[in-house]
Amino acid sequence: MKNVIKIMLFVAVATCLFSCGGNTNTNVAKTKDTIPVPPPPKPYAEEVNGIKVSEAPNSPEFPDAKLQLLSPKKDTVLKIGNNKFHYHVENYTLGMLTEGYYKMKCANSMKGQHIHYILDNTPYYASYDSVFERPVPSGKHLLLSFLSRSYHESIKNQDAYTLTQLVAGKGTDTLKDYDMNAPYLFYSRPKGEYKGEAETKKLLLDFYLVNTTLSPTGNRVKATVNGNDFILTKWVPYMIEGLPMGDNKITLQLLDKNNKPVPGIFNDSGERKFVLKEK
């Protein structure tokens, strides 16, 4: 009888210990499952001396859009002066207004979506057709072309741009070729004149990067607007607010993680001027 009682007590104690251990493991699992996930970083927005730079609203994406330069062919020596440029565009319609353009509340081209043609980082030429003529001076040049929404915001995907070296005129063989693998910063917007509240209240700040990225711990872009500095660590479009009527100026510079200039012929835009006017 005593042996039976001992066996029953042993089973009861073992069952209790096993049950407590199981509950402890369950509590650990529940604790792990309830670890809070940090919220995503807030969109960039900074105001200095009344001028505000912030991330632009989300635009329609065109992940399958493609741009290809068909002619002139690579290594073709162009004539000095006007030359024909022929592009192939896929999954993107030139001349069409970008869906929801009015929501951006900034300058918009009613001619629709287009190609930005930037030769040697000079102010862009907008073409609403895939075939057009442009003057090319003597020498070697670097041409960036990219697809643009109707409000001049660039399509920032791998297939929506082309980077090409152009050669025009004789005697250019001795000139140094461009490094097609080097990091490049190309200036795009703001540009020209803006009229009326619909265009002057918010201005699009946009640029194009090739062979580099931006991050809080890596390269960044310093935008100097009317003497005020803004450090941008994301390659996204931005909006500028609080600009005065009349002449304004902006400079973009590609910097490394230590805020030192990244070497490169186009990585400092130089001072760009634009004008805001009452309607």
List the chain domain ranges: 1-35, 51-277
Q: What is the mean pLDDT of residues 213-239?
A: 98
Q: What is the 3-state secondary structure (H, E, C) of 167-215?
A: EECCCCCCCCCCCCCCCEEEEEECCEEEECHHHHCEEEEEEEEECCCCC
Q: What is the pTM of this model?
A: 0.85
Residue 74 confidence (pLDDT)? 87
Residue 13 confidence (pLDDT)? 41
Q: What is the mean pLDDT of residues 187-206?
A: 97
State pLDDT tens for residues 166-186: 999 988 888 899 999 999 999
Q: What distance lies between CA 12 and its chain's CA centroid?
A: 68
With bands split at pLDDT 50, 70 and 90, how would you rate the model's confidence at 9?
very low
Best-predicted range by mean pLDDT (3-12, 174-183, 268-277): 268-277
Residue 18 has pLDDT above 50, yes or no: no
Its CATH class, for the domain covering 51-277, is mainly beta
When the pLDDT of each residue in the chain is averaged and rounded to a whole number, the result is 90
**What is the percent of the chain where pLDDT is above 90?**
82
Q: What is the mean pLDDT of residues 255-263?
A: 97
